[in-house]
Amino acid sequence: MMRRRTIKLWWVIATFLSGVAVAMWAEELSLSTQDNRLEFAAPRLHFLVGKPLERLRNAAEVSFAFRITLFSGNQTHKLQETASRFVVSYDLWEEKFSVTKLANPRRTVRNLADTAAEAWCLREMSMDVTGVGAKEPLWARLEIRAEDSKDGGLPFGRGNITDSGISLTSLIDIFNRPPAVTQTHFNVETGPVTLDELRHSR
Amino acid sequence: MYKLLLAGILAVVLPAGCFPLPDEPPEEGGPTNVNARFIVEKVSISGRGSPKLSDPLRTELGQVAGQKFDQTLLDRLADRIKNELHVPDVRMHVTKSDTPDHVIVTFEIGMEREKRFDLDLARFLYHSTQGWSGQGHATININNNAFSFGMVSDGDQLAERYAGIQAGFERRNVGTDRLQLRFDFSSYHEQWNQASLLLAAPDDIYRTRTHFSPMATVLILDPLELSFGVDFARYRLSLPVAKTESSNAVVSTLRYHQRWGSARSDQGEHDIRASYTLRVGTHFLESDPVFSRHQTQARYRFRRGHQEVAVGFLAGSISGQAPLFERFVLGNAETLRGWNKFDLDPLGASHVAHGSIDYVYRGFLVFYDTGAAWDRPDQREQKQSLGLGCKKGGFQLAVAFPVRTGAVNPVFYAGMNF
C-alpha cells in the first residue's frame, strides 16, 4: 500500500520537473518589466560560440549587431524596434570577456564570463513601453548577427559609423538583408504575452 | 519531499536563468579591444612560402614587435602577406608570452593559391604621336601549368606597329622551384610609318612575322636568375616576290632584382632591377641575318613616405645585320619621352645609350630623359627631354617636351603598366 503511494508522488515530481524543463527550453527569449521598461533575457541562447569565439580567443574583437522587434495584434503590427551594436573582446591574460556598447557615450564592461557578457548585451537592449496597453498581446523577436569578415572588425563598413557608434538606419538595414552564408546569426522569438502578465509574474 | 522538489526546481532554474552580472559599473570610452594594452613580444611566420616574403614586408613585420597590439595593423599585414605570396589564407594566432602582459603573434601561411583563370591587361597606352597600344592576356592554370592566350597591338616599342596574337605555356616548377620552362608563340601583322618606308631598303620591310621561343629560367642564387633558350622568328618580306626569311637566335638573360627597407620607415624602400640580355642570330640555327645584340638595363627606385625617385639606364649595341624588330628605338613612352621616334630614328638604331630620372611626390610626377641612338659614331647626338604629369599605382599621365631649339611640340601620353 505504502509502495503505491510513493510511486505516485515521484510521478508528480517528475512530471512537474519535466514541465518546467520543457517550458525553460521552449522559451529562449524571456521578457520581464522594470518600471516602464521591457527587459530581455535569453539564458539558453549563446552567441559567443563557434567562429566568433575562435576569433575572440585569437585576441581579435568581434562585432555583434542586435535587433529586437516588438509586435502587437496578431504579430502583424510592428510596435517598436531597437538596434544596437556591441564589440566583444577576450582578454588573453585574464581569460575574461570585455563588451563595449557603441553608443554615445560608449559603455564598456570588463572581466565578464561568457554568459555574463551575453546577458549584459541583452540587458542593454531594454525598451520603453510607456503607452503600450497592459492587456495587449505582445510578441518579441531577437536577432543577432556576428561579423563575418575582417572589414576592420565591422560587418557593415566604417562608412556607417558615427560618433554614437553606428547609425540606427544602417543597423536596421543590416537586418533587412539576409545574412551571408558564412555569417553567424541567431533568431529567437517569444509571445504572446501581455504587460499585465509580466507584471504579475514578477 | 518538499526539499527535494525545491532542489529540483532550483537545479533547473538557476543554471538557466541566473548569471553573474558585472560587479563594476560600465566604463565610458577606451579601446574596444581589451588586448590593445598588451605588448607584442615577437612576430613569427610559419608555413610554406615564408622564405619568399619580401624584405620590406619582413621589416614591417619586425617593427610590430615592441609595439602595442593593434588588430587593424596586424590584419593589414596578414592581407599583405596573402597578396604577396598569392596564398588563399593567412591565419593569425595570438598567444600569451612568458612575460606578463605580452603576446606572441604568429602568421600561419596556407597553401599556395592557384588562380584557375586569370585575365590581365598587361599594357594599355595612348601616345599622342603613336596612337593606341594595348596588350591583354587570358591565363588558365592547371596543376602548376599556365596556358595563356593574348592579343596585342603595339605602336610604341618598336619602329613598326605590330598587331596579332600571343600564346604561351609555362611550367613554373620543373622538379624544383628553381627551374621554370616557358614556350611562347606569337604571330603579328606589321604596319609601317611613311618615314620608315622612305628610309628602309626593300628587303628590310616585312609584312608579317611569327615567333616560337622555348626558354628555361634557373634561379641561380636568389635574387639572381638566368634565362636561356632560342627564338625562332620567320618574317615575310614586302617584296614583289613573296619571300620568307628566318631570324633564329640564341637568347640568354641574366636578371637581378633586390628590394629592401620599407617606404614607411626612415630608411625608405630601395628597389634595384638589372638585366643583361644577349641575342645571337647564327647560321648554326639556320638564321638568315647573322648578328649579336647586347642590351643592359638597370633601374633603381627609392621610396619614402609620399616621395619616390627612380633612376633608369639602358645601353645596347648590335653587331651584324639584325632585322628591324631587333633594333633599338628611342622616343616612345618609356625613353626620350617627348621626342617622336620617327624624327629620331625611323628604323631604330644599332647602338643606344639612355638615362632617365623620375621624381614623384604625392602622385605628381616630373622627369628628365637623355639619350642617343646611332648606327655610326658620327651620328651620335645626345637628346634630352623634360616632362610632368601624375602617376598613381600602374597608371601614368604626362606631357613631355623635347629639349631643342625651334618649334617644340609636346607629346601627351596616358596609360597603365608600361
Query: Each residue of A70-102: b (16+ CB within 10 Å) or e?
Result: bbbeeeeeebbebbbbbbbbbbbeeebbbbbbb
B102-109 and B39-46 beta bridge pairing: parallel
CA-CA distance, B414 to B418, in Å (whole number)? Answer: 10
pLDDT above 90 covers what percent of chain B? 60
Question: How confident is the model at residue B39, as a pLDDT?
Answer: 93
CA-CA distance, A168 to A153, in Å (whole number)? Answer: 18
Choose from A38-42, B258-262, B282-286, B292-296 the range with maximum mean pLDDT: B292-296
Grouping H, G, I as helix, E, B as strand and the rest as coil, residue B226 is strand
Question: How confident is the model at residue A78, as a pLDDT?
Answer: 87
Would you say residue B231 has pLDDT above 70? yes
CA distance A21 to chain B (A): 7
Rg (CA), chain B: 30
CA distance B330 to chain A (A): 47
- CB atoms A111 and B22 under 8 Å: yes
Question: How confident is the model at residue B132, as a pLDDT?
Answer: 94
Residue B72 is nearest to which of A110, A113, A152, comparing CB atoms?
A152
Is B5 within 8 Å of A101 (Cβ atoms)? no
- Contact residues, chain B to chain A, C-beta under 8 Å: 1, 4-5, 8-9, 12-13, 16-17, 19-22, 24, 26-30, 32-35, 38, 69, 71-72, 75, 78-79, 92-96, 100-101, 103
- In this predicted model, which residue has the larger pLDDT, B220 or A152? B220
Concatenate the DSSP letters of all residues of B287-334 into one string: -SS-EEEEEEEEEEEEEETTEEEEEEEEEEEEEE---GGGSB--SSSS
A24 residue type, one letter = M
Residue for grid cell 527535494: B4
Would you say residue B30 has pLDDT above 80? no
Q: Which of B184-198, B232-246, B282-296, B370-384 has the lowest mean pLDDT?
A: B232-246
Residues A69-127 pLDDT 10s = 999 877 778 888 888 999 999 999 999 999 999 887 788 999 999 999 999 999 999 99
- Contact residues, chain A to chain B, C-beta under 8 Å: 9, 13, 16-17, 20-21, 24, 30, 41, 43-44, 58-61, 87, 89-93, 98, 100-102, 105-113, 115-116, 118-120, 123, 150, 152-153
Bridge partners of B117, per DSSP, are B140
When pLDDT is averaged across residues B29-37 and rounded to a whole number, the result is 84
CA-CA distance, B325 to B327, in Å (whole number)? Answer: 6
Using CA atoms, how far residue B280 sits from A26, B64, B210, B287, B294, in Å, is: 84, 50, 18, 10, 9
Residue for grid cell 634557373: B218
- Under DSSP, the state recorded for B339 is B
Q: Which of A1-10, B190-199, B274-283, B329-338 has the lowest mean pLDDT?
A: A1-10
B291-304 and B307-320 beta bridge pairing: antiparallel
Residues A45-71 pLDDT 10s = 899 998 899 999 999 999 999 999 999
When pLDDT is averaged across residues B244-257 and rounded to a whole number, the result is 94
Is A86 within 8 Å of A173 (Cβ atoms)? no
- CB atoms A89 and B35 under 8 Å: yes
Three-state secondary structure of chain A: CHHHHHHHHHHHHHHHHHHHHHHHHHCCCEEEEECCEEEEECCCCCCCCHHHHHHHCCCCCEEEEEEEEEEECCCCEEEEEEEEEEEEEEECCCCEEEEEECCCCCEEEEEECHHHHHHHHHHCCCEECCCCCCCCCEEEEEEEEECCCCCCCCCCCHHHCCCCCCCHHHHHHHHHCCCCCCCCEEEEEEEEECHHHHHHCC
Choose from A19-23, B82-86, B88-92, B319-323 the range with maximum mean pLDDT: B319-323
- CB atoms A107 and B1 under 8 Å: no
Would you say residue A166 has pLDDT above 70? no
State the cell numbers at B404.
631643342
Would you say residue B94 has pLDDT above 90? yes
Bridge partners of B40, per DSSP, are B103
- Identify the closest residue of chain A to B8 by CA–CA distance: A17
Q: Which of B23-32, B157-166, B302-311 has the lowest mean pLDDT?
A: B23-32
pTM recorded for the entire structure: 0.59
Partners of residue B27 in chain A, C-beta under 8 Å: 107-110
Is B418 within 8 Å of B396 (Cβ atoms)? yes
Per-residue pLDDT band for A156 (boundaries 50, 70, 90) equals: very low
Question: How confident is the model at residue B133, as a pLDDT?
Answer: 94
When pLDDT is averaged across residues B49-76 and rounded to a whole number, the result is 84
Partners of residue B4 in chain A, C-beta under 8 Å: 13
Q: Is the dihedral of CA A54, A55, A56, A57 positive or negative?
A: positive
